[in-house]
Chains A and B, each alone.
Chain A
Amino acid sequence: MSYYMYSNTQEVTPYERMMGSLNGEKTDRVPVNYYPRWAALEYIGATFKQTWDDPDLYVKAQILGQERFQYDCVIDYDMMGPVEEAMGAKLKYPENDVPQIAEPLIKTKEDMEKVKWKLDPRKDGNMPKVLYVVRRLKEELIKRGRGTQHVPIMTWGSCPSRTAACLTGFKEWFLIVARDPDWAVELMERALDGWLQMVVAAWEAGVDCVWVNDPVSSRDCISRDHYEKLTQPYERKFIEAIRRETGMKVTMHPCGNWHDRMDLVYQNQADSYFLGPMDVEMCTQKAVETNEKGLSRVTSLNGNVGAATKSTTDGQTAVPYATTMKRGKPEDIEKESKAVIDIVEAADLRCILGTNCWDVKGSSFANRDAMVYAARKYGQYK
């Protein structure tokens, strides 16, 4: 059976479907968003570096990828790098991966003065290139929608803890957390503005929604106490600043295993949560509980088909099978998708079907198709 169906001609557009779910509303069916970088690049046969060197090629990949796979959101470059680079960090650009920090910029407190904290996204470093991609995506989507933008554009922002860790190096960041929490706070305080300015500029250029993530505060990394006192307040500050400046719906990705702290995560006030490899039932229940207490504003949960692994370091909580997207079969994707839709929607939260980590490089087209197929089959609203 082929899951591949070619249709951008439904009555409800991906834009209406995705934005509706972020608002907590039901449209025709559950939308699909798996942060489709590799799906799009693999479809047109380009490497990430090729599209970084040629932004129009990146736009082409996103547009054609969406038309081919029929997911409900496109993304801009969606990566760590342009802000940190403009701050002064040296990046390396692998042939087919996103840029990485070549060498930590901050090794001592004195190095803080070398960092360019105040940035202008329209001028500094490669940030204008990201904005160019957003503008071009917008133009193409409006053109192809015959005057209406039929697919939303999502951008990405780095939580202050992540930015700080990129500037110091991850290992040093964790040592700073242990040895000098005051310095950790100062780093996050100063790191917040660069990415905020980038997200605001992307919004002005035309993005419709944003996701932010923090891969350094999970249970795999720091204690609940460190999270609560150090990094969570800066996640919240970042998310609330984005909402205040742009009014956009914010999705937060707690990357990794956060089972022991989802109550705190939901209190950082994002609208939607792109769940990591966690127990979706427990995450849904926690979201309902914190919403009922008035501590959070969760409208939707995004995930949770296996892209990462089932192994969580607590070794106790059941999570979806490891790398279903890469090594499973379409029927596995369909089964996991159905389970996620059923659990999230039963709690009267909106489900945005997706993976439990970034779109996995090398997943088969059939598996990607199977997710959209599952949303159509099991995610219809009556």
Chain B
Amino acid sequence: MSILEEIRKNVFDGDENNTVELVKKALDEGKTAQEILDESLVAGLRDCGAGFEKGEKFIPEMLLSSESMKVAMVVLKPLLLEGSGIGGAGKAVLATVEGDVHDIGLELVGTMFETAGFEVRNMGPDVPTEDIVEAVKEDKPHIVGLSALLSNTMDVMPDVIEALADAGLRDSVKVMVGGAPVKQDFADEIGADGWAYDAASAVPKAKELRAQLPD
């Protein structure tokens, strides 16, 4: 097993300590931070997400995997940011909608967006709709990313979209939605501009949506 595969497995298994040690070792061996992120950390987390979809992994195990990624990112992030040009890709406001206290996915998306060159304002979990609207007014982001883990809080997402429209802000931003119970059909139904399966696939989707807006 290559060292990148080994890191991937450790992320999948949620072994935080081993993951960090292996990341350092991989850097010493000449692997780039981007390679480690894409081929090990994101891949490991995707494996874990696939396990979640299949009913083999659950939130506790997902959290351990995301904790492994998080500690590894402490080592990798400075290296990744060196060449990324923060803000070059655009601005994003991220929030978990009101009533939902889950922020694992949101944190991951924030990290991935930053490393992809977005300037990110991560508002965290349980954010009132009016605060999201206010943040959009203040920051004028290109992307608004909304997250919900609970099936009864995802219904707040259309309220946010409506509130943005009421505030006259809807045309200036692209709204992305995500979270375990949120699917493409729901995104279409509520009039969101984009949906992504996971944090990694949220990045190309955000870039695609950003490109549809004027500079």
* Stretch with Cβ within 8 A of B (4 or more), from A197-205, A280-288, A308-316: A308-316
* Stretch with Cβ within 8 A of A (4 or more), from B18-26, B101-109, B138-146, B166-174: B101-109
Q: A174-B59, A177-B60, A314-B55 are in contact. Are A309 and B152 (CB under 8 A)?
A: yes
* Stretch with Cβ within 8 A of B (4 or more), from A10-18, A214-222, A295-303, A366-374: A214-222
Interface presence of B198 (CB below 8 A): no
Q: Are the C-beta atoms of A309 and B181 separated by less than 8 Å?
A: yes
Q: Are the C-beta atoms of A178 and B102 separated by less than 8 Å?
A: no
Q: Are the C-beta atoms of A311 and B103 separated by less than 8 Å?
A: no
- Cα A215 to Cα B150 with chains together (Å): 10
By a CB distance below 8 angstroms, the chain A residues around B52 are 313
Within residues 37 to 68 of chain B, which ones have a CB less than 8 A from any CB in chain A? 52-53, 55, 58-61, 63-64, 67
Interface presence of B182 (CB below 8 A): yes
Query: For this complex, into which size category does the number of interface residues on chain A fall?
Result: 35 or more
- Cα A323 to Cα B101 with chains together (Å): 21
Q: Are the C-beta atoms of A97 and B59 separated by less than 8 Å?
A: no
Q: Are the C-beta atoms of A175 and B67 separated by less than 8 Å?
A: yes
Q: How many residues of B contact A (CB 8 A)?
A: 30
**Interface pairs (25), CB distance under 8 Å:** A94-B128, A97-B98, A100-B126, A171-B63, A171-B103, A174-B60, A178-B60, A219-B55, A220-B150, A222-B59, A223-B58, A226-B58, A257-B151, A308-B151, A308-B155, A309-B151, A309-B152, A309-B154, A311-B151, A311-B181, A312-B151, A313-B52, A313-B55, A315-B53, A326-B155
- Cα A170 to Cα B96 with chains together (Å): 14
Q: Which of A257, A260, A311 has the most CB of B within 10 A?
A: A311
Within residues 171 to 192 of chain B, which ones have a CB less than 8 A from any CB in chain A? 180-183, 186
Q: Which of A94, A100, A174 has the most CB of B within 10 A?
A: A174
Main secondary structure of the interface of B (DSSP, over half): loop
Closest to A256 in B: B151
- Cα A140 to Cα B130 with chains together (Å): 38
By a CB distance below 8 angstroms, the chain B residues around A314 are 55
Within residues 51 to 103 of chain B, which ones have a CB less than 8 A from any CB in chain A? 52-53, 55, 58-61, 63-64, 67, 98-99, 101-103
9 closest A-B pairs by CB: A178-B60, A309-B151, A308-B151, A311-B181, A174-B60, A308-B152, A177-B60, A174-B59, A357-B152
Closest to B126 in A: A100
By a CB distance below 8 angstroms, the chain B residues around A30 are none
Q: Are the C-beta atoms of A312 and B181 separated by less than 8 Å?
A: yes
Closest to B189 in A: A322
Q: Apart from A178-B64, A256-B150, A358-B152, what are 6 other A-B pairs with CB-CB below 8 Å?
A: A171-B101, A175-B64, A222-B59, A257-B151, A309-B151, A311-B182
Q: Are the C-beta atoms of B60 and A226 separated by less than 8 Å?
A: yes
Q: Are the C-beta atoms of A222 and B58 separated by less than 8 Å?
A: yes
Interface presence of A307 (CB below 8 A): yes
Quote the shortest CB–CB distance from A181 to chain B (angstroms): 10
Interface presence of B14 (CB below 8 A): yes
Closest to B61 in A: A178
Of B55, B63, B180, B186, which one neighbours A174 at CB under 8 angstroms? B63
Q: Are the C-beta atoms of B180 and A313 separated by less than 8 Å?
A: yes
- Cα A84 to Cα B19 with chains together (Å): 37
By a CB distance below 8 angstroms, the chain B residues around A219 are 55, 58
Q: Are the C-beta atoms of B53 and A309 separated by less than 8 Å?
A: no
Q: Are the C-beta atoms of A178 and B14 separated by less than 8 Å?
A: yes
Q: Are the C-beta atoms of A175 and B152 separated by less than 8 Å?
A: no
By a CB distance below 8 angstroms, the chain A residues around B186 are 309, 311, 322
Interface presence of A277 (CB below 8 A): yes
Q: Which of B101, B102, B151, B180 has the most CB of A within 10 A?
A: B151
- Cα A220 to Cα B63 with chains together (Å): 13
Within residues 322 to 348 of chain A, which ones have a CB less than 8 A from any CB in chain B? 322-323, 326
Closest to B60 in A: A178
By a CB distance below 8 angstroms, the chain B residues around A175 are 60, 63-64, 67
By a CB distance below 8 angstroms, the chain A residues around B55 are 219, 260, 313-314
